[in-house]
Structure 1
Amino acid sequence: MKGANWHKLTKTRLSFTVIILLIAIFIICAWERNPLITSFGLSSDQFKSIPKDFANLQESVPGSKLPSKVPDDTSEAPDIDPNEWTNESEDDEVRENDPEECNYAKGKWVPDARRPFYSGSECKRWLSEMWACRLMQRPDFSFEKFRWQPQNCQMPSFTGPRFLKRMQHKTLAFVGDSLGRQQFQSMMCMITGGKPAPQVQDVGWEFGLVKARGAVRPDGWAYRFPRTNTTVLFYWSASLCELQPLLNGSDPKPVSYALHLDRPVTFLKKYLDRFHVLVLNTGHHWNRGKFQGNHWELHAYGKPVGDSKLSDLSNAKNLTLHSIVSWLNSQIVKNPNLKVFLRTLSPRHFVNGDWNTGGSCDNTVPLRGGSEVSLEKSSDPVVQQAVNGSLVRLLDITALSQLRDECHISKYSKSSNGVHDCLHWCLPGVPDTWNEILFARI
């Protein structure tokens, strides 16, 4: 009898133990599947350390401490795969700002050890060697470690995935001179993080951007990010005007070209309906040397300008800007989703002469002339006046770029032959900031 009771008791205890075990397993499984558990843990982002170079950022602006030289270390450039979607959300605080309410041209340069966005020695597919100062003999790269901070508004954080998400199924077109080409190359490096990105497709042929027989290069480039169907392109047009060959009798080669001041370049008229964001620039080719070298002859309203007021190149440029803005304004009315920006002049920093008369730009100390822009009006009044009252937006970069005289290629170009380049910028560099502002505005 005792044995039977003992076995019965043992069996009861065993059953009770199994039940408790099953209940415990059920609770654990339910706990692991419950998303609320994540609210009690700390994300890895909360443990991110301060960038290792931040302690070395000294003497950046008057009153701070940034050495004129920082370690030749580009490991902080983000490794962005533009085709890898993340769950990055837009910066709520930043997106609440109305881009048209913020004066992005007014603010200051501040040190930022997280810069640059990409490595100047690695962005080889997109960046021309002649602008990649990391591939030159320049010994100092402290100029790469700054960002622009607008005075009364936030600058949205640029990342490749964020840009592509905002530009999904859209085309961004840069049309202008070599400074426009620099901005285009900067944008490609920023989107891809400077990586080769073999998945990005060359679609230049869709826009007639193919290298002609005997040409050094095509008239531009176009690339598409297939995951988001985002296209970024550049078309070279130093004047933004229509060029028409002027023939001499039966000679098939043009002796010169009519530069029609009142007509936009043919490329714009042909492809504008395919663009969603357009950035234009012109300025540095409006001089007699360039006109003579390019064999350009001024025309307006269907005839040569002769000895009229338009023979003065400043007046000619002014007519061009107003004519193009007027035409674009009429196109935006038809397509209100089109955003057009006219970029202000990129400043030159030649001292003691021009590029061909011994001019130089030897400074390598960041922000030696100051770090802040407090002007309410643009430093390029010609472009400002051209867009006033129109739907074309001003991309004002002149004053903030004027403070960065240490960022030019200077004497370090491999093929300089002693001539300083105080017009084009080292990349990474100032054009990256132009693109940050553009990103904030689109």
Structure 2
Amino acid sequence: MKFHAIELPLGKTANSIRNSPKITILVTITLVLLTLIPLYYLLPGYASFPWNSSSSSSSQKLSSAIPPSSGDHGGVTSGRECDIFSGEWIPNPEAPYYTNLSCRWSIHEHQNCMKYGRPDLGFMKWRWKPDECELPIFNPAQFLEIVRGKSMAFVGDSVARNQVQSLICLLSRVMYPVDISYTRDEDFKRWNYTTYNFTLATFWTPYLVRINEADPNKIGLFNLYLDEFNEEWTTHIEQFDYVIISAGHWFYRPMMFYEKGTLVGCHYCLKENLTDLNMLYGYRKAFSTAFKAINSLPNYKGLTILRTFAPSHFENGVWNQGGNCLRTKPFMSNETHLEGKDLELYRIQLEEFSIAEREGKKSRGLRYGLLDTTKASLLRPDGHPSHYGHWPHENVTLYNDCVHWCLPGAIDTWNDFLLETLKIEGRKSFEGSIHTSDRKMRIR
């Protein structure tokens, strides 16, 4: 069921010098630096180098050993390690960094809060401040240099697509991409940034595993084959250098669970003599299967990134019974906390991620990274479109949207996190190349 490309919890929507060890090391370091450090297209007011914030672990803990560069929106300033995912929202009068006019073709109507008259535009003027350091604002030129010649796939539901739209808009300050999609299906899009030979793709898969419609007479009830790969995305991602995986809100709806081809239970299906296994059972199995699919691909050598669950903010009712999100500023971290099913979904993601990371690294040396957007998103009840996804006089089948995010808006910070993750991986590769060269020199 498609309503202006929107997706709500209960409905689908609208990329030789052999004799001198010292010279060999110098050449290696120089080549790595030239590959990773953006030397041009630097924009005023953005970070200048990819390592002004650095990390030694996949939990994105940043060291302050490297000072912030001039013109940086922050840079690490504390003398301790910093968890960039723990902090507060603070005012940012310089935002936004694009508008619904400069990026009109990428912003879906139901997320175009500026166009449809949202009066409190302050929701665009906040940035995430980690507790012990600064998180640089997204630098589009820097991002494109880091991903030059590479490819990136977002695998998940329409909230994953929401992040891609934000990324395209943030990158629009440097250039717009060319649509190179292999299908007309809007659920599977692909773009190329020709100057950088960078490919960006989306694979719409709200349950991550194979599904089909359970009952033609009951719209929205799906069969989930919890132990079977969804080949609509798993057969494509071997070619990608980065795969960002996420899912969540669709698991609140009715589902039929199959394993080994047999119906084993359901969630809120209201069928007699069928075990209610609840949403958490299906959620864990789906993520386990999705990660197994990635770890089993023989030619996949990319970085797999988990983007954690972003809670919705319905108040005074659920999504289809009058619930809305009308707050106009962020929460402070001591004003709310993750609880209930949202907390369980988050825990399951982290547990399955840990298992997959351990198994992938042990069996094939695969790399994993974490984009923990949960806390920052929890604190932004003001960031959703609510009813500002259409004109007030329009007669549309559309509920208040407290799941997706206005563009520009809070979701842009997810791409601040993403760029920091890529910089961290760049530093790891750099340090790894030095250690490898050093070992070779000692062996000789």
TM-score (norm 2): 0.67
Most deviating of 423-432 and 90-99? 90-99
CA 1:312–1:368: 2 relative to 1, 3 Å: closer
1:241 to 209, 215, 223: 209
For residues 321 and 215 of structure 2, the distance between their equivalents in structure 1, rounded to whole angstroms, comes to 35
Instruction: Report whether the alignment pairs 1:439 with 2:419.
Output: yes
> Residue type of the partner of 1:121?
L
Deviation at 1:349, TM superposition (A): 0.9
CA deviations 1:400-438 (Å, max 9, x no partner) are: 111111111112221567842111111111211111101
CA contact (8 A) 1:409 1:422 kept: yes
> Residue type of the partner of 2:170?
M
CA contact (8 A) 1:280 1:343 kept: yes
Instruction: Report whether the alignment pairs 1:360 with 2:324.
Output: yes
For residues 142 and 256 of structure 1, the distance between their equivalents in structure 2, rounded to whole angstroms, comes to 39
Match of 2:191 in 1: 223
CA 1:423–1:137: 2 relative to 1, 3 Å: same
For residues 50 and 369 of structure 2, the distance between their equivalents in structure 1, rounded to whole angstroms, comes to 23
CA deviations 1:96-136 (Å, max 9, x no partner) are: 77664413221121211221221123311211121011101
2:303 to 317, 339, 362: 339
> Residue type of the partner of 1:104?
I
CA deviations 1:337-384 (Å, max 9, x no partner) are: 4111222211111111111111122211x1245589999xx9511211
Deviation at 1:264, TM superposition (A): 2.8
> Residue type of the partner of 1:302?
G
Residue 133 of structure 1 aligns to a residue whose secondary structure is coil
For residues 418 and 237 of structure 1, the distance between their equivalents in structure 2, rounded to whole angstroms, comes to 22
Match of 1:180 in 2: 160
Match of 2:184 in 1: 210
Instruction: Report whether the alignment pairs 1:201 with 2:178.
Output: yes
Trace 1:328-407 onto structure 2 (pairs within 5 A): 328-331=294-297, 335=300, 337-364=301-328, 366-370=329-333, 379=343, 380-391=346-357, 392-407=368-383
Give the root-mean-square deviation of aligned CA atoms.
Answer: 3.3
CA contact (8 A) 1:108 1:371 kept: no
Trace 1:15-414 onto structure 2 (pairs within 5 A): 85-86=40-41, 89-95=48-54, 100-102=59-61, 103-193=83-173, 197=175, 200-205=177-182, 209-211=183-185, 218-243=186-211, 258-289=223-254, 291=255, 297-306=256-265, 311-331=277-297, 335=300, 337-364=301-328, 366-370=329-333, 379=343, 380-391=346-357, 392-414=368-390
Most deviating of 408-417 and 120-129? 408-417
Residue 425 of structure 1 aligns to a residue whose secondary structure is coil
Match of 1:79 in 2: none
For residues 205 and 105 of structure 2, the distance between their equivalents in structure 1, rounded to whole angstroms, comes to 22
Residue 263 of structure 1 aligns to a residue whose secondary structure is strand
Residue 185 of structure 1 aligns to a residue whose secondary structure is helix
For residues 244 and 119 of structure 2, the distance between their equivalents in structure 1, rounded to whole angstroms, comes to 33
For residues 406 and 333 of structure 2, the distance between their equivalents in structure 1, rounded to whole angstroms, comes to 20
Deviation at 1:285, TM superposition (A): 0.8
Deviation at 1:151, TM superposition (A): 2.5
For residues 322 and 213 of structure 2, the distance between their equivalents in structure 1, rounded to whole angstroms, comes to 35
CA contact (8 A) 2:152 2:201 kept: yes
For residues 344 and 363 of structure 1, the distance between their equivalents in structure 2, rounded to whole angstroms, comes to 23
CA contact (8 A) 1:107 1:372 kept: no
How many residues are treated as equivalent by the alignment? 332
Q: Which sections of structure 2, spanning at least 5 residues, go unmatched?
A: 1-38, 62-82, 266-272, 358-367, 423-444
Asked which structure has the greater CA Rg, the reply is 1
Deviation at 1:152, TM superposition (A): 3.1
2:402 to 422, 432, 441: 422
Deviation at 1:387, TM superposition (A): 0.9
> Residue type of the partner of 1:313?
M
CA 1:142–1:260: 2 relative to 1, 3 Å: same
Deviation at 1:232, TM superposition (A): 1.0
For residues 118 and 88 of structure 2, the distance between their equivalents in structure 1, rounded to whole angstroms, comes to 26
Q: Which sections of structure 1, spanning at least 5 residues, go unmatched?
A: 1-83, 212-217, 249-254, 292-296
Structure 1 runs of 4+ with >3 Å offset? 95-101, 244-248, 255-258, 306-311, 368-375, 415-419
Residue 153 of structure 2 aligns to a residue whose secondary structure is strand
CA contact (8 A) 2:211 2:225 kept: yes
CA 1:334–1:153: 2 relative to 1, 3 Å: farther
Instruction: Indicate the structure whose relative CO is greater, using CA pairs within 8 Å and at least 6 residues apart.
Output: 2
Deviation at 1:257, TM superposition (A): 6.2
Deviation at 1:275, TM superposition (A): 0.8
CA 1:344–1:92: 2 relative to 1, 3 Å: closer
Deviation at 1:394, TM superposition (A): 2.9
Most deviating of 380-389 and 160-169? 380-389
Most deviating of 274-283 and 151-160? 151-160
For residues 261 and 274 of structure 1, the distance between their equivalents in structure 2, rounded to whole angstroms, comes to 25
